[in-house]
Structure 1
Amino acid sequence: MNALSKVELNQKVTHFNMKLTELIENYSNEVGINSERTKIAYRDDVAQFFKYFNCNNESTTDVVYIIFTRNNIVKYRSYLLEEKKLSASTINRKMCALKEFIKYLSSYGYDIDINIINQLSKLKTTNNSYEALSLEEAYALINWIKDNENRKALDKYYYCLLALDTGVRAEALNKLTKASFIIKEDEVIVKGVDKGKKAYTKVISREFYDNMHNDLKFDQLNLTDNIFNFSGKNRTDMLNRAKKSLGWENRNITFHSFKKGAVTYAYECTKDIRVAMNVGSHSNMETTQRYIADNEEAFKGAVSNNFATGVKDVDFNNFEKDQLIEVLKSLPEAIQLQVKTELNKIK
C-alpha cells in the first residue's frame, strides 16, 4: 500500500479532529454540489440521526465509531416508522443519506463497514405518487398560469413548458443559462446537469426556442445568468392556484407531473421503454416502468389487431372525410400529434 502524502495525511487528520457538525456540513456540500435542495435534505437527514442519539454541536467526529452500528441504524429506522409515522419512501430516502455519509467517511479513512447499511432491506412502498398529466391537462394548467399568475407569468409559462417538453427536473431547469442552448438550423440542443450530477442532452424545436428567447428577452441576459429561479414553494403555490381554479384540488398533481407526462408521452409515441427512460434521464428501467404503469393500457400486437378488427380489409378511401376526422380525434394525443407533424410536412 502506498504511503500517504503530507497533504493527504493532513486532510485525514483534519477530518478526524473536526466537530461533527462541520463534518456533516462538508459532506452535504459535496453531495449537494448541483442541488441546494439535495444539500439541505442530506444534511438534515444525517444531523437528525445523530441528534436521536443525543449528539450536539460540541460532539466531535469520534462519535461516528460509537454510533454507526447496525443495531443503532435499525433502531433509528424503527423509530421513524413506528413513532414518527413516516412513510416508507421517506425512511428509505433517509437511509440513503446515511449510506452516502458512510461512504463519504470511508473515503476519508474512517474505518466503518459500509455493509452495516448495505445489507438492510428497503421498506416496501405503496404507489401513491403524483399523477402524470395528459397533454390536454398539462396545457390547461400551463395556459392558466400564463394568463392568471400575477408575477413572472411568462417565465413560469416557459418553465412549465420546458419541463413538459424535455422531462428535465425543476432544480435542473433552474440552472439553465443562455449558454445551455446550442442553436442549430431547425432545432436547439439543450445541455445541462440533472440529479446526481448526471449530464443530459435534450432537443427542442427552433420555433419553441425562438418564442421563449423573444418573450423572456434573452438578449438582455448575460451568457451565464440563470433564466429561471423558482423555489419549491413557488412551484407548489403556482400549481395549487391553477388546480383550484380548474377544479382539480383533489388531484395529486405536482410540478414533477410534467416530467412524468413527458416520459408517458414518449412511451405512447414509440412504445419503446428505452426511449422513455432516456427522456426521464432514469438510471434504471424500474423507475421508468413506475412512471408509465398508471397510464399504460394493454397493448395488442399487429397480429391480434388484424384478427380482432379485420384491419387488412380497411381502406381509407372507403370512408368520408368526417368519419376519418372523428376517428383521428378519438386517438391518443401522442398519436394525434404524430399525424399533425406528418400533415405539416405536406402543406
Structure 2
Amino acid sequence: MKPFLYARGTKNYARFLVPAHLQATLGKRFLVFALGSGAGHELRLKAHQIEHYLSTQLLHNDAMSFDPSQFSFLDVVLRDGTQLKNINNDADLKRAKELLKALGIDASASSRMFAPLQTLQQVAPEPAPEQQVKGLKLIELVDKFFLLKSQLKPATVQAYKNTALEFQKFLKNPNITSILISDVTRFQEHLAQNKNSTRTIDNKIATLRALFNFARKQGYYFEKNPAEGRSLLTKKQRLAGGYDKFTLEEIELIFKSIEFIKEKKRDPDFYYLCCLALVTGCRVGELASLAKNDFKQTPIGTYYIKIKDAKTLAGVRSVPFPQDSIQGFKEFLNTKTENVFKYVAREGKGAGNAVGKKFTRLLETLKVKREKLVFHSLRKFLNDYLLKNNVPYEPRCQFIGHDIDDTNVAIYSKEYTEDQLNEYVKQHQDSLIIRCKL
C-alpha cells in the first residue's frame, strides 16, 4: 500500500488504496489519514510510518476494522461494535488491553497489535539539538561514504556524486530520513521519461542502494532501504544486454587495416595499447595507467604485466604476454621512464577514456558498425577465444581477472604462477599475433 499525498487548503493527507482482497474486510476502498501541517520531508516521514504500520501490522489482522479518520490509528472499532476511542498515552493503552482481555480477545495478540502505537504517536520526534538547524542531506551522506571508503576510484566517486545530486535535485533537497520507497519509484519514472536506458536506471538505483545501506549501517537511516530490490533487469537480461564481442574476422579486419597500421608511427601509444588489449584482455583503464616497472619477467623468462590498479579484487593480477613477439614493442617500452602510455586520467572518466573514443572512431572508419562493439569488446573477444580453444575455466578466470562464481571452485582452486598461466595462454596469444600481423 503506497501513499498518495495531497493537500486541502492548509491540511495535508495521505491516501492508501486498500488491496482488493481486504476491501470487504475493512469495508473501505481507500484509507485516508490526516497528516497535519509541517515541512514536506516531515509529511513524507509520517506517511512512510503509516505505510509501515499498515503493511506489517494492520493488514495481517483480519479480526478488526478501524476508523482511519484520525491519523493516530488510536480509534479502533471491533466487529461487535465495541469502540476504543482516543488511545493517546500509556495508561489508555493499558486499559485498552485490559478491555480486550475482558472481551475474550487474546492479550498477546492485542499486545502485538498495539505495539507500534507509541511509535506512531511520535511520528515527528523532537530532533536532537545538533539536528534542529540542519539535517543530513544526500550529498552530505555521499561525503561521509567516501570518507570511509577512500580506496574507490575517481570515476566511481564522480558517478556516485552525480547520481546523488540528480536524486537530491529531483526530491528538492530533502533530509535522507524523509526519503520513501515511493520517492525511488518516482525517480525511476523520471529517469525513464528523460530517456535513460533501463540499464542506466538500474545503475543509478544501485548507487542509491549502496548509499542507503551505508546510511543504515552507520545509523543515519533507520527504515528499510528504499532502493532495495528495485532492479528492473534480471541478471540474465543484464548479461544479454551488455557489450558484444568481436568475431575473429572482425579482429583481423581491424588490426590488419591500413588505418590501424598507420597508427604505429602516427600514435604509437594508441597502437601498442590496442595490441596489448588484444593479447591480454586487460581493461582499458588497467593498461592506460601502467608504469614501466609494471612490466616484469620471471626467472625462467616469462614476460608479464603486474596489474595493481583494477576495477575488482580479482582484477589485481599478473598477466603473461609475449612481449618479444609484438614487433617494435620492446623498443617502444625502452623509450619510457615512468608511465608507459601518454594518457592522463580525467576526473570521473579514468585514463582510458581517450583511447576508447579513438577506437570507436576507428571502427566507424572501417565500417565495423555492429551494435554494442566498443574497446571493451576486445576483452570479451579474448575470453571467448580462449574458451573456444579449450583453456580451462580456473586459469582463464585468473588470467582475465574474473571472479569465480562457483563456490566449490572458488574455495578449493589454486592460484597459478605467471609461468603456469603462460603455458595455458601463450600459444593462443602467438596465434592472434600471427593472424593480425602485429
What range is the shorter-chain TM-score in? 0.5 to 0.7
CA–CA distance in structure 1, aligned partners of residues 277 and 379 of structure 2: 6
CA–CA distance in structure 1, aligned partners of residues 255 and 150 of structure 2: 30
Give 1:202's aligned amino acid.
V
Does the 8 A contact of 2:264 with 2:271 survive in 1?
no
CA–CA distance in structure 2, aligned partners of residues 101 and 237 of structure 1: 31
| 1:33 positional shift | 4.0
Query: Which residue of 2 is the match for residue 64 of structure 1?
Result: 176
Does the 8 A contact of 2:296 with 2:305 survive in 1?
yes
CA–CA distance in structure 2, aligned partners of residues 269 and 141 of structure 1: 21
Matched, 1:105 2:215: yes
Q: Taking structure 1 as reference, are residues 26 and 211 closer, same or farther at Cα in structure 2, changes over 3 Å only?
A: farther
Give 1:76's aligned amino acid.
F
Alignment of 1:278-293 (within 5 A): 278-283=398-403, 285=405
**Larger Rg: 1 or 2?**
2
Does the 8 A contact of 1:33 with 1:39 survive in 2?
no
Matched, 1:79 2:177: no
Deviations 1:155-186 (A, max 9, x none): 11221122222222111222211222221242
Query: Which residue of 1 is the match for residue 388 of structure 2?
Result: 268
CA–CA distance in structure 2, aligned partners of residues 284 and 164 of structure 1: 22
Matched, 1:256 2:373: no
Aligned equivalent of 2:203, options 82, 93, 102: 93
Does the 8 A contact of 2:243 with 2:372 survive in 1?
yes
Query: Which residue of 2 is the match for residue 239 of structure 1?
Result: 359
Deviations 1:4-55 (A, max 9, x none): xxxxxxxxx9xx9776545424545766845332222222112211111011
Query: Which residue of 2 is the match for residue 229 of structure 1?
Result: 343
Q: Which runs of 5+ in 1 are unaligned?
A: 1-12, 287-333, 342-347
Matched, 1:119 2:119: no
Give 2:254's aligned amino acid.
L
| 1:209 positional shift | 7.6
Q: How many positions carry a matched residue from both structures?
A: 270
Q: Taking structure 1 as reference, are residues 108 and 152 closer, same or farther at Cα in structure 2, changes over 3 Å only?
A: farther
Query: Which residue of 2 is the match for residue 49 of structure 1?
Result: 167
Query: Which residue of 2 is the match for residue 307 of structure 1?
Result: none
2:321 partner SS: strand
| 1:259 positional shift | 0.6
| 1:142 positional shift | 3.6
CA–CA distance in structure 2, aligned partners of residues 235 and 183 of structure 1: 27
Matched, 1:196 2:308: no
Query: Which residue of 1 is the match for residue 331 of structure 2?
Result: 214
Matched, 1:141 2:251: no
Deviations 1:250-301 (A, max 9, x none): 5532000111111111111116444443343223559xxxxxxxxxxxxxxx
Q: Taking structure 1 as reference, are residues 27 and 211 closer, same or farther at Cα in structure 2, changes over 3 Å only?
A: farther
Q: Taking structure 1 as reference, are residues 74 and 207 closer, same or farther at Cα in structure 2, changes over 3 Å only?
A: same
Does the 8 A contact of 1:155 with 1:216 survive in 2?
no
Give 1:158's aligned amino acid.
Y
Higher relative contact order (CA 8 A, sep 6+): 1
CA–CA distance in structure 2, aligned partners of residues 213 and 152 of structure 1: 18
CA–CA distance in structure 1, aligned partners of residues 430 and 262 of structure 2: 32
Aligned Cα root-mean-square deviation (Å): 3.7
1:194 partner SS: coil
CA–CA distance in structure 2, aligned partners of residues 151 and 285 of structure 1: 43
Identity between Structure 1 and Structure 2 (%): 21
Does the 8 A contact of 2:212 with 2:225 survive in 1?
no
Query: Which residue of 1 is the match for residue 242 of structure 2?
Result: 129
Deviations 1:215-264 (A, max 9, x none): 2435x413xx3535265552343223322332223553200011111111
TM-score, structure 1 normalization? 0.64
Greater percentage in helix: 1
| 1:151 positional shift | 8.5
CA–CA distance in structure 1, aligned partners of residues 196 and 255 of structure 2: 32
Does the 8 A contact of 2:260 with 2:271 survive in 1?
yes
| 1:196 positional shift | 3.3
CA–CA distance in structure 2, aligned partners of residues 228 and 29 of structure 1: 30
Query: Which residue of 1 is the match for residue 81 of structure 2?
Result: none
CA–CA distance in structure 2, aligned partners of residues 272 and 113 of structure 1: 46
CA–CA distance in structure 1, aligned partners of residues 265 and 154 of structure 2: 23
CA–CA distance in structure 2, aligned partners of residues 98 and 193 of structure 1: 25
Aligned equivalent of 2:287, options 148, 173, 176: 173
